[in-house]
Chains A and B, each alone.
Chain A
Amino acid sequence: MAVGETQVESGSEPGTKEVETGWRATLRKIKRDTTARWGLYVITFVLAITAYTLIDGNLSRLTFGNVSDFAMAEALPIFEHPERLPPPGEADTNVPPAFHADGSMAHPLGTDPNGRDYFTRIVYGAQVSVSVGLAATFLGLVGGTIVGAVAGYYGGWVDDLLMRAVETVYAIPPLILIIVFTVFVSGGSPDVRFAIIGVGIAFIPVFARIIRSEVLSVREMDYIEAARAAGVKDRNIILRHVIPNSFAPVMVYATLQIGVTILIVAGLSFLGFGAQPPTPDWGEMLQTSHSYMHSNVWLSIWPGIAIMITIMGFNLFGDGLQDALDPRIND
């Protein structure tokens, strides 16, 4: 029986509990939230693959066939030592995916034009995307926290100056800024490490803004004033009250930002300013396959799907986290 045609939820009726806080409550809400749970599954999956590629030093898998004399015992982030990667296979055959008439189960996703097993390259591609995504976001988060917290806490002209600077950096689209930075700082030979720093710097304004506004809103809370009135030192107020209470929303934002970072790094590699061949990276693979777009369609499809799934994982988790922490549009 539907009485009254208005069925829009409201958060103000007696049934709704007041906002719970604290980590345990948040965790419980995440557990209950389907979106967040699925995001967590995807992230775990991608992270597990990344971990595997770091442990599995057998880079020979990255080549065609079984170049067994090129076995690497050392576990390493591959983009750090591209010189150790096996050289492209001899065979210039372009094996199609397994479900194709000419395909074989030896190469479930086929091989790239250089004869390297595509499945293995996709798996190893997670390493660059995920580590760059995490590292660059972390860098931006740290830089942004410093700038944002200083601006928000001190206020006045410090705030003004920092925010003008932030606005300036913000005005240059991240991709452009990162390309200019990476190319010039690397002296014309960009690679992943410059990309991480570039992305990190480009995201400082984004994080600085959000952290500043969080600090400003927490600073207005009565418990901060209560702590001041009680004679608690400024340092302790920041450490014990301001940071823990601004942390949660910032984490939500950071999670969503990881997705954006991966997106941008993929674009960067696609244009040739990120990971450099032969490092397996999804963006780089898309660039290589771009020339084979007409002859081998599948080469362009797999890396894109890999990027999409990874980013979706972080977005799902971020969304779930946001729902769990934001009471306004809670069900």
Chain B
Amino acid sequence: MSSESEPLLRVENLKTQFFTEAGTVRAVDGISFDVHEGEIVGLVGESGAGKSVASMSLLRLVESPGEIVGGEITYKGETIFGLEEGPDGELQEREDMLSNQEMRDRIRGNEIAVIFQDPMESLNPVFTVGGQLREFIELNRDLSSEQARQEAVEMLREVGIPDPEQRYDEYPHQFSGGMRQRVLIAMALACEPSLIIADEPTTALDVTVEGQIIDLVDDLQEKYGTSFIWVTHDMGVVAEICDRVNVMYLGEIVEQSPVDELFYDTKHPYTEALLDSIPRPDKTVGELDPIEGVMPEAISPPSGCRFHPRCPDAREVCQRVHPENKQVDTAEGVPHRAACVKHDAFDVGYDESVPLAKSPQVTADSSANTETSVTDPERGTAGSSGGEGSE
């Protein structure tokens, strides 16, 4: 860790797995990152990268058949999750780990709040917007019902909902998508948490509404000093709002750096490829440079570096060596980490290793045809049928 004060949230080697009929899905496979006070930390990746599972793990809200199986989560010095070796040699939950009751009473909502992606589904259709807001405030802030109501109206006004007294008694379906997302933001802020996890909060919104919401969050973040974990797939949003960024690929963090360095001093080939493959709104790009193939399924990740089958810089060594996320540079005292053996910090013989031969199709065509085929032998299907675009 950097020499700064203890971070608000520290995640170390977190592993979350789903035990399915088809096998164990290592959705989050040993990620470490931290969040300091007043910071907006990005968690970026494509669908299936594990970013949503990672964020729900922080609240210990992974749904069955998923389970956190390893690592440590520390929040303000308290252990949200931690394992130790028991007397019988088996891993067991540490004694200082917060109980379910404590998680509910002290952490969820009043310390760490969330904003979900889908504002349409996240509000309960049969209760009024104000009622839902008030319930969460009452639960997390020791206020009387009447005080909570006033606070709720105040928060609705704060997030820019016109005529809040009136709209307090309205139902979610009477709100537009953007307005509902404002309600969710109001919920998060009203509980006065120190950390808000925003899981793709603008993805379902139109671009002008997205702009309004990002503006709003920016202003409110400044006012309340809340920290954010911002989960997204949109590099534009990352550039816009994040202070530091974690790039995820297939359950792992492959690059971790301050936002400027991520864009201007990119250290991991995946991040670089991602940036090259997106069309830009601010300038005309002649030819897009897509990443070949699709992300394999987390049920059987490639050996070595998980990105090597799609990586333009892959060499023989990449198939063998699984790279840690190591510090490769420092920017203004903040470490810049990347999980790529091409950096000197690794010293596993990348320079001497031979480049991997591309299969002919790959070089001939930019097709998705070369994706690492995770063929389910029983079904005999072509390629991964994993939900790209369906996270």
Contact = CB atoms under 8 A, between A and B. Distances in A.
Bound pair: A and B? Answer: yes
Interface of A: 1-10, 13-18, 20
Given A13-B18, A14-B25, A14-B298, A4 B62 contact: yes
A20 B379 CA distance: 10
Nearest to B251: A14
Using C-beta atoms within 8 Å of the partner chain, give the interface range for chain B.
Answer: 20 to 34
B318 to A, nearest CB: 24
B17 to A, nearest CB: 9
24 contacts: A1-B67, A1-B93, A2-B67, A3-B62, A3-B68, A3-B81, A4-B60, A5-B100, A6-B64, A8-B63, A9-B63, A13-B18, A13-B25, A13-B63, A14-B18, A14-B27, A14-B297, A14-B387, A15-B19, A15-B20, A15-B66, A16-B20, A18-B387, A18-B390
Given A9-B64, A10-B63, A13-B27, 4 more contacts: A1-B67, A4-B60, A4-B62, A14-B27
B22 A15 contact: yes
Given A1-B92, A1-B93, A3-B60, A15 B65 contact: yes
Interface of B: 18-20, 22, 25, 27, 48, 50, 53, 60-68, 81, 91-93, 100, 103, 297-299, 379, 385-387, 390
B251 to A, nearest CB: 9
Contact of A18 (B22, B92, B100, B385): B385
Contacts of B62: 3-4
B306 to A, nearest CB: 15
B61 A6 contact: yes
Nearest to A9: B64
A215 B117 CA distance: 32
A252 B319 CA distance: 49
A11 to B, nearest CB: 10
Contacts, number: 62
Nearest to B297: A14
Contacts of B22: 15, 17
Q: Which of A1, A7, A15, A16 has the most CB of B within 10 A?
A: A15
Nearest to A7: B64
Given A14-B298, A18-B387, A6 B67 contact: no
Contact of A3 (B53, B67, B299, B390): B67
B100 to A, nearest CB: 4
A153 B115 CA distance: 42
Nearest to A17: B385
A10 B64 contact: yes
Contacts of A9: 63-65
A16 B298 CA distance: 12
A13 B53 contact: yes
Contacts of A17: 22, 385
A16 B61 CA distance: 18
Contacts of A5: 100
Nearest to B376: A17
Nearest to B59: A4
